[in-house]
Structure 1
Amino acid sequence: MFGNSLLVRTTALVIWDVLAWIAASMIVSGLRYSWDLSRVDWVAIIVYTAIAMFIFFGIGFATKLHIAKFRIGSFEESLWLSSTVFVSAVVSLAISWFFPPGDTFVPIIYAVTLPFLVIVLVLSGRAGFRVLKNYMRRGSPEAKPTLLVGAGTLAYQIIRLVEDDPNSAYDIVGMVDDAPNKRHLHLGSVRVLGTLEDIPHIVRKHNVAQVLLAISNADRKLVNRVSELTGGATGPELLVMPPLSEMAGRSTDLRSMRKINIMDVLGRGQVQTDLSQIAGYINGKRVLVTGAGGSIGSEICRQVHKLGPQELIMLDRDESALHGISLDIYNNALLNTPDIVLNDIRDYEALRKVFETHRPHVVFHTAALKHLPMLEQYPEEGWKTNVFGTLNLLRLAKEFNVDRFVNISTDKAANPTTVLGRTKRLAERLTVYFAKESTGKFLSVRFGNVLGSRGSMLWTFQKQIDEGGPITVTHPDVERYFMTIPEACALVIQAGAIGRDGEVLVLDMGEPVKILDVAKKMIALQNRPIDIVFTGLRPGEKMTEVLVNEGDTEERPFHPLISHSTVDEIAPEDLEGIKTETLASELDAYKRGAGVTADQVQGGV
């Protein structure tokens, strides 16, 4: 009916505004003077009105007020229209006052009343257009009844997008919000129907097929609450907007909506970081990231890239992983530039060439072997990468005067009982040693499990679900700390800014979560039966992880989610003795725990 032609829109608005000025003039003249005016007064009124109209449309076309500058009927358009009408009336009155036609001044009552009535008529026409457009809007035949959770800015943006899209797949029936001051709120043609507790009733009453969480960075408690109120996997489809960290500067878009996943259920809201602190040590600097193709390394690369480094050197021994992160960041994967480095941190001489070529200012060391049972079977491989690979980097960082060295550690380094924990603990202690020997700032950052990393528990569970089960859990009471990859990396980069030389910074992982509960929630999201099988704790595996050693000091002087702790240093020359003794005991422990011979341990089982 209305069309999308800019010419039609502009013409219609101009005609309406001309009629509004004429009608306002007639109404004011009729009500105030019953049209009983002398010819001279009529001339003054006509001249005043004509000048005001000329100025109004002149400003309108100069500022494109009538040419799709604003959404019709929006607050912004109303403000501009009102201001333009008043400016036009004031200027016209001034001209009429200093240059009166026929030495007759325009009646002051007419001059004051006219602009107010013009504004009423101009805005009423636009408001009526909006109401009629919304009433006659035809959504997609497949549009599903949708309930919005939240009645804030994001909800308003979503409603506007849906109203402007004639083919939208969403038919918004209403909103729910717990805020008392929003109980009777209307956003466009959509109103608040109740609070979160009213969701089950609203879903039944309006036959809701989709529930959209219209709250930016909702925490897991809210996500879980809404999921329970909607009936979980058996109720309406629950959709969310990605966190701001995932939006990467993109505006709100209906295509951004996605189904709820386990990371929404277990994750936290957006982590607050101090960009001024972060930019200070990354912007304009050469930054080296080891393990750049891994889950943590690749996300650090993405976040560092946004901070404007002089050069981002991405190092990994996996060429396919380098291909992936290069494509992700640069939208190409030519792999023919010197900042994409295929290298193994075990190879000291090859690593040295990298430092000689690029001379990095900042190093994020994420490269590591991390699979606990694999390292229990092959402990020497853990030593080669996690200990001696780290030592290679630390020596070169000292020699080439790296300004900041951030070693990524794990919660298993606290009171370690496994090869992974012991090797990462030694990497922390080596970092402390080189912090005292070097001019730059050397520190470690320790955190627990990250959600969705390659080969992680969630990745394994999802593969098992895709295969129809069963899901394997070691013990019904085992629990772990969890954090999403983006929030962990944001805090790692922040820790690099606030950490003091030789410290171990421990990220706040929130409350520990039972692995069994995670498995049950993942199954609930699938809405199909999947068995869970308990396999028993593996050798050296803890029932509950800790983030700091017993007796270690812990303080949070700079950031509420980052604790500062300390560990004892260890000199490189002391490693060999520890290695010989430790490897023997680790192999023996694995042999006893797995029920295999020492020869099988060395050669593989």
Structure 2
Amino acid sequence: MRGVGGTDRPGRKPLGLSKDVLMPTILERRLARLAWDAASWVMAAGIVTGVVRWHLSPHQWAVVGHYVLAACVFQTLVGVALKLYQGRYRVATFEENVGLLTATGLVSVMAGVLLLNLDGAETTAVALVVLCPLLALLFMELGRGAYRLRHDHDRSRTSASTCERVVIYGAGDAGSQLVRLISDDRAAAYQVVGLIDDDRMKRHLIVHGCRVMGTGESLVERAREAGATTVILAIPSAGADLVRRVSDDARAAGLKFRTLPPVREMIDRPVRLGDVRDLDIADLLGRRQVHTDVERIADHLAGRRVLITGAGGSIGSELARQVHGFSPATLVLLDRDESGLHGVQLSIYGHAMLDTPDVVLCDIRDEQALREVFETHRPEVVFHAAALKHLPMLEQYPEEGWKTNVLGTRNVLRVAAELGVKRFVNISTDKAADATSVLGKTKRIAERLTAWFDGHHDGTYVSVRFGNVLGSRGSVLHTFREQIAHGGPVTVTDPEVNRYFMTIPEACELVIQAAAIGRGGEVLVLDMGRPVKIVDVARRMIAQSGRDIEIVFTGIRPGEKLHEDLFAPVEHHTLSEHPAISLVDVPPQDPDQLGLVRGELAVTRLIPAEQDHAEIRLRV
């Protein structure tokens, strides 16, 4: 009989096409297991009586018969109660063996008690009660093991010519789950031919019938010996360095490379076969395990009224999703972009009617509108993520950067202070350190404003500074993907330019952690890892595409740096209690004296003239 996903005997429809066809097949299998377990008791009793060589009277044979019949009935009842025959356990797994052991123990006790109460059972009772259950359990497990071996053999024979032969890197929990999923799914596109694990203690370990063949050092050699065409990295906690090394080795050997998502994307759920995916450039740049103090974060968020500005943006929406996981009393999503609000509401709640009071359409430039929102919702915690962030655009329109990043931030700070917000977190950027651009200078002033409000009002006001986030709107990765999709060229400003990178979830996890540990008035700077050359990112993405695409260098743009800094030269930073967060003190900025600092935003921009470009200096 074929399994689900295959075909049954000639003349019958393929399985999986109809519920009417599928259900009898499942029922047949379950009845077959039940019949086998009953037969196991019969065979066990036959062996016991044959080995002991009793000369039994007809009455004693009747006693044996009653014992076997009782054992079969009790096996059926107990098995149904423990759902041994209702699909609770996969065949021949450890879990099913434990279930069989439990059922057999219960059956042996009930049948034994019945046997001892039968007349003339004394001569047969001890041998039957002691030996019969053990032999019956052995037969039950042998039958299931034989079925599993045949099933696996049929699966491998069927899939050998149609599936990708894969080596799984990682024999831990995720790798073990993945092997089992592939072996149990006849429709899977993979056939596991072996595993690789860097733990030498796992050498020769067999995981669901697949052997650990060696360590990462011998990956290519072992994959070739096994005839593999694909390597799957099944270590969700793998850092960027390991992902980079394994993917480079696989690509150099002509092997396909796939991976599982980082652990933060699979928390509190098992691995699924659909999790296996192609390598994303984010895996190579920003894949780090973030350790957060969940209890401390929960103390600041659980049961609190939380408001997020810029909730429809890349950072704001991820912040909203993570904050929602800590069960705040209310979560108010504020943005001036209705499409962004639609997206974040849909991702959190599974619907996007935009008709609830916790989704607020409001511009932070409008102080009175903000005040009305704060008076309505009375937030206790505010994450201020609303900002204009594209450096070249703000170089062209510096006044817009001033209105949103400076005056808008001042507005949010004012109404938060007036209405007694307990904790305020301003999202800043590494460009605020030793700022040379409109973006950096406006965000620097926002940091200083936040520090001033901390010193003059109750509550805790902090800023959190980090660099480029992978996958945000308008990020370099989106640009490169589009350019590669259109055949190039890929444009990079300078061969030496480098940047810090984080994934959006990683950045937001640390922002929430920073909010919990920040003492107030300071800037918390997130550890961004090592800076990466942008041209190297471009080359990797081109290599992944398999296309021959040119890289063109366009030159550094006004206000842009070759190398970003997380700290200005004059800033003294210290480590916080969290290893990935540093602390920097910034001078406070009185919001009533903002007119005096507008001159700091002297910028240079290029404006098209008739035939050339004229350089014009603007003082904003």
Q: Is the 8 A contact 2:606 2:615 kept in 1?
A: no
Q: Is the 8 A contact 1:178 1:195 kept in 2?
A: yes
Q: What is the CA distance between 1:522 and its match in structure 2?
A: 1.1
Q: What is the CA distance between 1:13 and its match in structure 2?
A: 1.1
Q: What is the CA distance between 1:550 and its match in structure 2?
A: 3.0
Aligned to 2:151: 133
Aligned to 1:586: 603
Matched residue type, 1:330: Y
Aligned to 2:534: 515
State how far apart, in whole Å, the 2-side matches of 1:431 and 1:566 are. 11
Work out which of the residue numbers 590, 595, 598 in structure 2 matches 1:576.
Answer: 595
State how far apart, in whole Å, the 1-side matches of 2:509 and 2:367 are. 30
Q: Residues 271-316 of structure 1: CA distance to partner in whole angstroms, max 9, x if unpaired?
A: 2222222222222222211111211111111112222223222222
Q: What is the CA distance between 1:499 and its match in structure 2?
A: 1.3
Secondary structure at 1:396 match in 2? helix
Is 1:150 the counterpart of 2:150? The answer is no
Q: Residues 42-98 of structure 1: CA distance to partner in whole angstroms, max 9, x if unpaired?
A: 45544444444443332112222222121111101101111221232234334544x
State how far apart, in whole Å, the 1-side matches of 2:569 and 2:119 are. 93
State how far apart, in whole Å, the 2-side matches of 1:551 and 1:28 are. 88
Secondary structure at 2:535 match in 1? helix
Q: Residues 357-401 of structure 1: CA distance to partner in whole angstroms, max 9, x if unpaired?
A: 222121111111112222223222211111111000000000111
Is 1:13 the counterpart of 2:33? The answer is yes
Secondary structure at 1:558 match in 2? coil
Q: Is the 8 A contact 1:55 1:88 kept in 2?
A: yes
Is 1:112 the counterpart of 2:130? The answer is yes
Aligned to 2:86: 67
How many residue pairs get matched?
594
Matched residue type, 1:550: P
Work out which of the residue numbers 164, 179, 182 in structure 2 matches 1:162.
Answer: 182
Q: Is the 8 A contact 2:80 2:86 kept in 1?
A: yes
Matched residue type, 1:121: F
Which consecutive unaligned segments of at least 5 residues does structure 2 have? 4-21
Q: What is the CA distance between 1:249 and its match in structure 2?
A: 5.1
Secondary structure at 1:506 match in 2? strand
Q: What is the CA distance between 1:590 and its match in structure 2?
A: 7.1
Change (3 A) 1:103 1:15: closer
Aligned to 1:336: 355
State how far apart, in whole Å, the 2-side matches of 1:602 and 1:394 are. 26
Q: Is the 8 A contact 1:554 1:565 kept in 2?
A: yes
Secondary structure at 2:153 match in 1? helix
State how far apart, in whole Å, the 1-side matches of 2:250 and 2:375 are. 58
Which consecutive unaligned segments of at least 5 residues does structure 1 have? none
Matched residue type, 1:434: F
Q: What is the CA distance between 1:483 and its match in structure 2?
A: 0.4
Q: What is the CA distance between 1:500 and its match in structure 2?
A: 1.2
Is 1:174 the counterpart of 2:194? The answer is yes
Aligned to 1:222: 242
Q: Residues 497-550 of structure 1: CA distance to partner in whole angstroms, max 9, x if unpaired?
A: 121122211111111111121111111111111112222323333222221233
Change (3 A) 1:141 1:324: farther
In angstroms, what is the RMSD of aligned CA positions? 2.4
Secondary structure at 2:120 match in 1? helix
Q: Is the 8 A contact 2:337 2:361 kept in 1?
A: yes
State how far apart, in whole Å, the 1-side matches of 2:273 and 2:316 are. 30
Q: Residues 178-232 of structure 1: CA distance to partner in whole angstroms, max 9, x if unpaired?
A: 2212221222232223222333234444443322111113211111111111125
State how far apart, in whole Å, the 2-side matches of 1:347 and 1:456 are. 28
Matched residue type, 1:8: E
Matched residue type, 1:318: D
State how far apart, in whole Å, the 2-side matches of 1:564 and 1:288 are. 24
Q: What is the CA distance between 1:489 and its match in structure 2?
A: 0.6
Aligned to 1:415: 434
State how far apart, in whole Å, the 1-side matches of 2:44 and 2:594 are. 91
Q: Is the 8 A contact 2:163 2:191 kept in 1?
A: yes
Is 1:475 the counterpart of 2:494? The answer is yes
State how far apart, in whole Å, the 2-side matches of 1:356 and 1:373 are. 36
Percent identity, aligned pairs only, is 48
Q: Is the 8 A contact 1:25 1:49 kept in 2?
A: yes
* TM-score, structure 2 as length reference: 0.90
Q: What is the CA distance between 1:264 and its match in structure 2?
A: 0.9
Q: Is the 8 A contact 1:285 1:309 kept in 2?
A: yes
State how far apart, in whole Å, the 1-side matches of 2:141 and 2:490 are. 62
Aligned to 1:26: 46
Q: Is the 8 A contact 1:47 1:101 kept in 2?
A: no
Secondary structure at 1:550 match in 2? coil
Q: Is the 8 A contact 1:362 1:405 kept in 2?
A: yes
Q: What is the CA distance between 1:446 and its match in structure 2?
A: 0.7
State how far apart, in whole Å, the 2-side matches of 1:578 and 1:211 are. 56
Aligned to 2:216: 196
Secondary structure at 1:568 match in 2? coil
Is 1:102 the counterpart of 2:120? The answer is yes
Q: Is the 8 A contact 1:6 1:68 kept in 2?
A: no
Q: What is the CA distance between 1:39 and its match in structure 2?
A: 5.2
State how far apart, in whole Å, the 1-side matches of 2:121 and 2:161 are. 66
Q: Is the 8 A contact 2:193 2:226 kept in 1?
A: yes
Matched residue type, 2:536: D
State how far apart, in whole Å, the 1-side matches of 2:121 and 2:511 are. 78
Secondary structure at 2:34 match in 1? helix
Aligned to 1:450: 469
